[in-house]
Amino acid sequence: MNSSNGSDGLAAERLQSSEAVQLALAAYDASLNGIISMQAIRNREGKVVDFLMLTANRAVERILTMAPDRIVGTRLLETFPGNVESGMFSLYERVVETGEAEQIVEHYTDVYGLQGWFEVSAVRAAPEQVVVTFINITDSKQAEQKIKQQADLLQAVLDHTQAAISLHEAIRDETGTIIDFHTILANQQAIRMWGDLAEPILTKRFFEVASPEQQQIDFAKYVRVVETGEPDLSEFSIGDQWWLRLTTRSGDGVVISNVDITENQRYRLQVEATNLELKRSNENLQSFAYIASHDLQEPLRKIQSFGDILRSQYASQLDQEGIEIVERMQAAAERMSLLIRDLLDYSRIATHRETFRSFSLAKLIEDIIEDLWYPIEQTNATIRLGAHEDLPDITGDRLQLRQLFQNLLSNALKFCQKDGNGLPIAPIVHISAQQIPGSAVPVAIQPVLSTKRAYWAIAITDNGIGFDSKYAEQIFQVFQRLHARHEFTGTGIGLAIVKKVVEQHDGAVQVQSRIGEGTTFTVYLPV
């Protein structure tokens, strides 16, 4: 019985051993990693010169594109000669000699075309045997390299940009409240901008390096940007340098971009100083024009009065040539009086401006037509207005705008065409208005208007003589005339007044004309 029990125990041990071997072999072949066991081959001096490959699992075929039966029984350096250059052979040699397991990641390539990145582990299984486990990590390695290349490219771009850029991550307490920030990344411009504070900013928290003012103002700003996602744009100075800062959210932190605007700031201050000086000069010039034109009127009135006395009381004592001289003197005095009045009107635009109010454009035009009844009767003109509901209420200085539209209507009546017999053709004037968005105004005047506002486009169109469009800008300059004085009366100031008034109202004026086809003046006033 004892003998029988001993035999049964031995059989059971053998069965368990067999099952363990079968289980190990199943796991060996089921492994996703390639596994090769090798026997060291030594030369006469005892140095390992190669390995004989004893076993290979099924995974090697997928990883190395070579069936196990083509591997087993061959020498390592004959089948996979790239092991020397890759440094893997040295690894296996060390493991055999020292018995210490090692692991490396290396790139492999050989003359047979096999190449890729491999993660290799080697352990000594017996005094002269090593078991190698490996996986092909080429895809992940290439992805890693691509990410690194992109990161290097991004860093290069950041380092060569003119902006100082840095990334700061929020630090939160156990309740999720932001209590501080620390720096994750900074380009070279940011490091140069920080100067001696660069190392502390890169290695310490915000509250450890920030000034009390920064702790109070900037910290709250960063928190607001992270929590709302709304960017913040501000200007600040460091010494005599000015910076424009844009703070935007990035993940659970902020990206801060600083651009040096020192030169822009200096230029802006210079421009502001120049504009202030121009404003003073302009105001002085306006005052001078007003005072000069006002004071000139009194002596001119005396000249005209003395001329009238000569003409009425002493005409009998003058010969024909003397009378003609007096008449020419009076005509010149009248022209000078008209010029002084126009200069006075021009200077008053800037020095005497009333409070802007809303009023009816239709009623304003009707008042102007009433004032111009005589030239309208003389020329047999027709004034065609849009309906009352088509002419809007506009806002501005009513007196100045009356002057503007009266000048435009006067010109439409003055510059009329003549027929084949040299007789004047009755003027026909159309006045209309429509509301348009700022984006729809003509390109030529867009720079002086806002695309964010709406405008009334008020057009005055006539059938007069017209003019060459190349003079469209010139006619708005003071004293500019396109016709001789004996052809059409005037001082050349009327359209300059139109332009100045419309600019005082944040608007613009544009003219379109062709010789012999009439003219259209369009006044753009903000709604």
What's the pLDDT at 290? 65
Taking the alpha carbons of 362, 366, 367, 368 in that order, is the dihedral positive or negative? positive
Q: What percent of the chain has pLDDT over 70?
A: 84
Other Cβ atoms less than 10 A from the Cβ of 213: the count is 8
Give the architecture (CATH level 2) of 263-352: Orthogonal Bundle (1.10)
Q: Is residue 219 scored above 80 in pLDDT?
A: yes
pTM recorded for the entire structure: 0.42
211 alpha carbon, distance to own chain's centre: 32
Span 223-273, pLDDT tens digits:
999 999 999 998 888 777 888 889 999 999 999 988 888 888 888 888 888
Long-range CB contacts for residues 194-202, cutoff 8 Å, separation at least 24: 201/166
**Which class does domain 355-526 fall in?**
alpha beta
CB 332 within 8 A of CB 371: no
Amino acid at position 266, single letter: R
Q: Is residue 490 scored above 60 in pLDDT?
A: no
Amino acid at position 339, single letter: L
Mean pLDDT of 410-437: 84
Phi/psi at 232 (5° precision): -125, 130
Span 140-157, pLDDT tens digits:
888 888 878 777 777 776
CATH of 2-137, one of 3.30.70.260, 3.90.470.20, 3.30.450.20, 1.10.4080.10: 3.30.450.20
Distance in angstroms (rounded) separating the CA atoms of residues 52 and 413: 114
Span 294-337, pLDDT tens digits:
677 777 778 888 888 888 888 888 888 888 888 888 877 777 77
Q: List the structure tokens of 456.
A: 């009334």
DSSP assignment of 94-146: HHHHH---EEEEEEEE-TTS-EEEEEEEEEEEETTEEEEEEEE-HHHHHHHHH
**Topology match between the domains 2-137 and 161-260:** yes
Q: Any idea which fold 161-260 has? A: Beta-Lactamase (3.30.450)
Identify the residue whose tokens are 């008449």: 327
Q: List the structure tokens of 334.
A: 């009248």
DSSP character for 439? G
Beta-strand (E) ranges in 43-114?
Answer: 48-56, 102-109
Distance in angstroms (rounded) separating the CA atoms of residues 31 and 124: 19
Provide the residue ranges of all domains of the chain, joining segments of one domain with +: 2-137, 161-260, 263-352, 355-526
Q: Is residue 14 scored above 60 in pLDDT?
A: no
Identify the residue whose tokens are 């005599």: 240
Task: Give CA angle at 106 (105, 111), nearest 5°.
Answer: 150
Most confident of 30-34, 91-95, 446-450, 515-519: 91-95
Phi/psi at 499 (5° precision): -65, -40
What number of CA atoms fall less than 13 Å from residue 446's CA on the CB side? Answer: 10
Q: List the structure tokens of 62.
A: 């997928």
What's the pLDDT at 122? 95
What's the pLDDT at 486? 44
Q: List the structure tokens of 302.
A: 């005396």
What number of CA atoms fall less than 13 Å from residue 481's CA on the CB side? Answer: 13
Q: Is residue 516 scored above 60 in pLDDT?
A: yes
What's the pLDDT at 316? 82
